[in-house]
Amino acid sequence: MPTALNLPMVDPLPPETQKYFDICTEKLGMIPNVLKAYAFDIDKLNAFTAMYNDLMLADSNLSKLEREMIAVVVSSINRCFYCLVAHGAAVRQLSGDPKLGEMLVMNYRVAPLGDRQRAMLDFAAKMTIASAEIEEPDRQRLRDVGFSDRDIWDIANVAGFFNMTNRVASATAMQPNDEYHAQSR
Amino acid sequence: MPTALNLPMVDPLPPETQKYFDICTEKLGMIPNVLKAYAFDIDKLNAFTAMYNDLMLADSNLSKLEREMIAVVVSSINRCFYCLVAHGAAVRQLSGDPKLGEMLVMNYRVAPLGDRQRAMLDFAAKMTIASAEIEEPDRQRLRDVGFSDRDIWDIANVAGFFNMTNRVASATAMQPNDEYHAQSR
Amino acid sequence: MPTALNLPMVDPLPPETQKYFDICTEKLGMIPNVLKAYAFDIDKLNAFTAMYNDLMLADSNLSKLEREMIAVVVSSINRCFYCLVAHGAAVRQLSGDPKLGEMLVMNYRVAPLGDRQRAMLDFAAKMTIASAEIEEPDRQRLRDVGFSDRDIWDIANVAGFFNMTNRVASATAMQPNDEYHAQSR
Amino acid sequence: MPTALNLPMVDPLPPETQKYFDICTEKLGMIPNVLKAYAFDIDKLNAFTAMYNDLMLADSNLSKLEREMIAVVVSSINRCFYCLVAHGAAVRQLSGDPKLGEMLVMNYRVAPLGDRQRAMLDFAAKMTIASAEIEEPDRQRLRDVGFSDRDIWDIANVAGFFNMTNRVASATAMQPNDEYHAQSR
Amino acid sequence: MPTALNLPMVDPLPPETQKYFDICTEKLGMIPNVLKAYAFDIDKLNAFTAMYNDLMLADSNLSKLEREMIAVVVSSINRCFYCLVAHGAAVRQLSGDPKLGEMLVMNYRVAPLGDRQRAMLDFAAKMTIASAEIEEPDRQRLRDVGFSDRDIWDIANVAGFFNMTNRVASATAMQPNDEYHAQSR
Amino acid sequence: MPTALNLPMVDPLPPETQKYFDICTEKLGMIPNVLKAYAFDIDKLNAFTAMYNDLMLADSNLSKLEREMIAVVVSSINRCFYCLVAHGAAVRQLSGDPKLGEMLVMNYRVAPLGDRQRAMLDFAAKMTIASAEIEEPDRQRLRDVGFSDRDIWDIANVAGFFNMTNRVASATAMQPNDEYHAQSR
């Protein structure tokens, strides 16, 4: 079981889901456990993957690496084992910089970032720790380093999303695939 | 604008979206501002509504009221104005008990709940405040008051979802529709 | 019983107290439960009402609404059900703006306030959360928006008072009168 | 000035106030600065002293020492210099145990207390740190070590009172009289 | 420079220090940057290494792995980049279990530990977060899983030591040697 | 026993240790309990005293009083009874200002310090509360009031050291010698 809950995958999977999982195996060498966890209910799986793919893979002025950086910083604050392992690997891979991945997992303030990325991660961190205290000057700080209102939306939604998945993963004791640990070290 | 970001709705809306908004107007007397906020990008709107509708309206052993109760308790901890207004109104309406809505907005511990609902809300609160500290005894406490593993999944995902939307709403200064304030008092 | 403690009111009440309670019934349509709670000991009741009336009703450069705004913001941080219900109603009534009452109950940072009132509420909030960190620059910020030293005293004492009553109310499970919930919505 | 605010005492003081201050000088060797601070407005001074004297000096099953112990523990958590100095001295004097005074100022958990006093101070500490989380089992724990409902009221009101005065003292930079420091060492 | 402070090593190093550094290079393949950081003053370096070697390498009922586990859990709570990198590598190496190292870096509660090691790490975590709240029942819990008073001393001193070094490393921006990142993955 | 752990001193003490203790008795009028606590293992005692003496007594641009001030502020935040008693006495003695000692024990923000000492204590406080958030501007603030990089090292190491000893003392219930309480009042 990918979580501590006894919720077996639909068996057999619908053809479209099976096809999606086959693509995962082919491209990633594994089916991420989060997908197996949701696969007890195909509607829930589809809602999750639709939102995930829109946020992390669709067009955005934020690079895929930047979105993964947000994912890791949020997950670091929430201490989510699943997401730190999976998205820490993604940062190492997309950046080609294993040390950057470690820095974001451990304490993003030690990473040598430019103003743009630092402001982006500070905003994501504040959203995670004290979202009720975000006010116009916080948004303005993002605009001041070059982010558009659309970019702010994307930062907020990626940071929001991992505040959801971190909590779902921790609440269900979701286990990351072992393959992640040695990737891109 | 429904938020502090300058992100106008797609104009004209695609026919399916327009139809969905018309149904909102008919049934709710308004188009919730969260939908207008996402409507600058129809894929994002659709991903949001698909997840929202699955979590809050699809079949579950949790009643619709219980799911709204979780929404309010999470939003109370995160002090999210938008979600407290919108989902506080939903609790008042679904329960027929305005005082219950106020209690959950202000401090759910004062509400006279049975063991089942109290355990459910305590779990949602812990997920919100300290998700990294959730362990097997927390899940077992839910099983002990009668929740199945599927129910635990639903509790975790509703609580997770509002930890996302609370943060998106606060990060973007999303404004709730004025109609909510006087509803079901 | 107005609280979880078994402390019945003095019976019969002394004539002056009975007269005071009759005035409450006439003017407010109820005797606030906090008064009934203290009425097991008339000296304690009198000490409480003397301080309350001096702070909330006596001459001050702070308007009665402003004093109630402080009451609600302090009570929101302390999540005191009794005081949020009673003083939230007072803000709605005195301001004629139900939405303002809700904003202060939920998260005062979303309320569209002028600099003066915002500074006043920030000071009350800091007093509530981290009074030991208040230093001269905090007082100066109040002076800079036009408050006199006497005004600062009044802000500090109103904020202090609700930090007392919030805790007494929560410690004794004091129940607000049901009449408040629907008032001035 | 006894605080950072420029609020001179009424001059001359009304005869009753002057008499009260003379008694202070005679009995305590000083006029406590908190009284001088309030003496810019005799109504406020009288409201304060009436509540103070009722709580700290009137009949109660809590000894005067126990009430001072609560004062110090609350003030320690709030790190209020004025109240720690003044009431720390009172604990040293009333107990004849300077070390007890130091323990309560620094960390009450190290003091060798019986179950009754430990429960009393734990309740006062929880009221100070997280009053919204107090529920019936907290009150029951006090009853289990022998406190009556009236005693619980007194504990709650003394703890509440110092949560007020700590904040007023810190907000106004109230200075304790130098005489306290060397008393009862 | 191994830190953000301009404090060059004594040059030349005294023969004993040079010999010690040569042994590091031979055994570890590097001179840990923490040693270079202290080497601007040989007395300080010697005091540090004497305490480090006594705590981490001298006889103890705690295995070297267990001492490193404490180091990582403390450093995780304090989010110390230097110590997480260096001692995370040590846990991976001594345990032969890279996943265990990652779990302790990210959230030790997800690691599948026996009662003894879990109690040990819970004690170290409480010392790190809220040492003032440690009382006899905390020590008794360690005795109950088999630790002697001497073992408790060792746990307390290892946990204490990394609360020192974490803070020194963060305060000086100490950089871990790059060699650690890929070790024992 | 100087702590709650049953760890008797080596008996007889080695001659050098006995001599060191005799000097303590002669100079201080007592053997500080922390030394007795470590004396169950002479290597551990020596490592501790070597580091302590280097930090607190060796050459530094920080005066001995300043180092003791840091000790007290760190211990105040950590609420360590042992260290507050012992080092509070040291501040009173070295400064000749009993009130300063009390201020640092209770809330260092109320002490009338110059910019240099205030910056030094703010840095020590931040190291204690949130070391992971220290960045270059924090160090620069120290340089701006005249501290050299070597001075910053000393501030960091003294503050770090008491974050260790506070935790060891609290974890073992270390008792300060009674002699401290009345010293230099």
Question: Residue range F28-47: average pLDDT?
Answer: 98
The percentage of residues in chain B with a pLDDT greater than 70, rounded to a whole number, is 100
Cα(F123)–Cα(C55) distance, integer angstroms: 39
For chain E, the average pLDDT equals: 98
Residue D113 is predicted with a pLDDT of 98
Chain pair A-C, CB pairs under 8 angstroms: 4
Q: Is F43 exposed, middle or buried, given 0-12, 13-18 or 19+ CB atoms closer than 10 A?
A: middle
> Which chain B residues touch C106 with a CB distance below 8 Å?
79-81, 84-85, 105
Name the closest residue on chain B to residue D134, using Cα atoms: B109
Residue C146 corresponds to which tokens in the numbers above? 């036009």
Name the closest residue on chain E to residue A97, using Cα atoms: E181
> Which chain A residues touch C109 with a CB distance below 8 Å?
132-133, 135
What is the SS3 string spanning A85-105?
HHHHHHHHHHHCCHHHHHHHH
E109 touches chain B (CB under 8 A): yes
Residue A1 is predicted with a pLDDT of 84
Is cis: bond before E12, omega within 30 of 0? Answer: yes
Name the closest residue on chain F to residue E157, using Cα atoms: F168
The percentage of residues in chain A with a pLDDT greater than 70, rounded to a whole number, is 100
D135 touches chain B (CB under 8 A): yes
At C22 the three-state DSSP class reads: helix
> Which chain E residues touch F36 with a CB distance below 8 Å?
none
Q: Which chains touch A (3 or more CB pairs under 8 A)?
A: B, C, E, F
- Nearest Cβ partner of B84 from C79, C80, C106? C106
For chain A, the average pLDDT equals: 98
Question: Contact, A131 vs B166, CB < 8 A?
Answer: yes
Q: How far is C174 from chain B (nearest CA, A)?
A: 10
Cα(D17)–Cα(E25) distance, integer angstroms: 79
Contact A78 B131 (CB under 8 A): yes
- Nearest Cβ partner of F5 from E80, E153, E167? E153
- At F75, is the pLDDT very low, low, confident or very high (cuts 50, 70, 90)? very high
Residue A91 has pLDDT above 90, yes or no: yes
Residue C124 carries which side chain, given as an amino acid letter?
A: A
pTM higher than 0.95: yes
> Which chain D residues touch B109 with a CB distance below 8 Å?
132-133, 135
Considering all CA atoms of chain C, what is the largest pairwise distance in Å, rounded to the nearest integer? 52
Query: Do chain F and chain E touch with ≥3 beta carbon pairs under 8 Å?
Result: yes
A50 touches chain B (CB under 8 A): yes
Q: Choose the mutation target among E73, E76, E103, E109 for the interface with B, i.e. most B CBs under 10 Å.
A: E109
Give the length of chain E.
185
pLDDT tens, E151-173? 999 999 999 999 999 999 999 99
Name the closest residue on chain B to residue E107, using Cα atoms: B132
Question: Residue range D3-30: average pLDDT?
Answer: 97
D129 touches chain E (CB under 8 A): no
A30 touches chain E (CB under 8 A): no
Q: How far is F119 from chain E (nearest CA, A)?
A: 14
Q: How far is D135 from chain B (nearest CA, A)?
A: 8
E79 touches chain B (CB under 8 A): no
Residue B184 is predicted with a pLDDT of 96
Residue C178 is predicted with a pLDDT of 96
B85 touches chain C (CB under 8 A): yes
C79 touches chain A (CB under 8 A): no
Q: How far is C170 from chain B (nearest CA, A)?
A: 9
Question: Residue range F50-57: average pLDDT?
Answer: 98
D133 touches chain B (CB under 8 A): yes
Residue B112 has pLDDT above 90, yes or no: yes
Instruction: Report the C-alpha dihedral over residues D170, D171, D172, D175, rounded to 10 degrees.
Output: 0
Distances (CA, A) of D99 to B150, C119, D63: 56, 42, 19
Question: Residue range E137-150: average pLDDT?
Answer: 98
Residue D102 corresponds to which tokens in the numbers above? 């130091």
C55 touches chain B (CB under 8 A): no
- Nearest Cβ partner of B182 from C85, C181, C185? C185
Residue F15 CB partners (closer than 8 Å, separation 6+): none
pLDDT tens, C146-180? 999 999 999 999 999 999 999 999 999 999 999 99
A43 touches chain C (CB under 8 A): no
Q: How far is A109 from chain E (nearest CA, A)?
A: 10
For chain F, the average pLDDT equals: 98
Question: Contact, A156 vs A125, CB < 8 A?
Answer: no
Cα(B105)–Cα(C105) distance, integer angstroms: 9
* CA angle at B95 for the pair B94 and B101, rounded to the nearest 5°: 100
Contact F106 D98 (CB under 8 A): no
pLDDT tens, D45-75? 999 999 999 999 999 999 999 999 999 999 9
- At E79, is the pLDDT very low, low, confident or very high (cuts 50, 70, 90)? very high
Phi then psi dihedrals of residue A113, to 5 deg: -105, 155
Question: Contact, A74 vs A162, CB < 8 A?
Answer: yes
Contact C51 D51 (CB under 8 A): yes
A129 touches chain F (CB under 8 A): no
Contact D106 F178 (CB under 8 A): no
Say which DSSP state C131 is in: G
Residue F28 corresponds to which tokens in the numbers above? 């201080």
pLDDT tens, A121-147? 999 999 999 999 999 999 999 999 999
Distances (CA, A) of F173 to C126, C178, F38, F83: 34, 50, 13, 11
pLDDT tens, F121-132? 999 999 999 999
* CA angle at F43 for the pair F39 and F44, rounded to the nearest 5°: 60
- At C1, is the pLDDT very low, low, confident or very high (cuts 50, 70, 90)? confident
pLDDT tens, C52-78? 999 999 999 999 999 999 999 999 999
pLDDT tens, E100-130? 999 999 999 999 999 999 999 999 999 999 9
> Which chain C residues touch F109 with a CB distance below 8 Å?
132-133, 135
> Which chain E residues touch B135 with a CB distance below 8 Å?
109
Contact A80 E107 (CB under 8 A): yes
A82 touches chain B (CB under 8 A): no
Residue B1 is predicted with a pLDDT of 84
Question: Residue range C126-140: average pLDDT?
Answer: 98
Query: Do chain E and chain A touch with ≥3 beta carbon pairs under 8 Å?
Result: yes
> Which chain D residues touch F85 with a CB distance below 8 Å?
102, 106
Sequential DSSP letters for B115-169: HHHHHHHHHHHHHHHHGGG--HHHHHHHHHTT--HHHHHHHHHHHHHHHHHHHHH
Q: How far is B150 from chain C (nearest CA, A)?
A: 32
Question: Contact, B158 vs B67, CB < 8 A?
Answer: yes
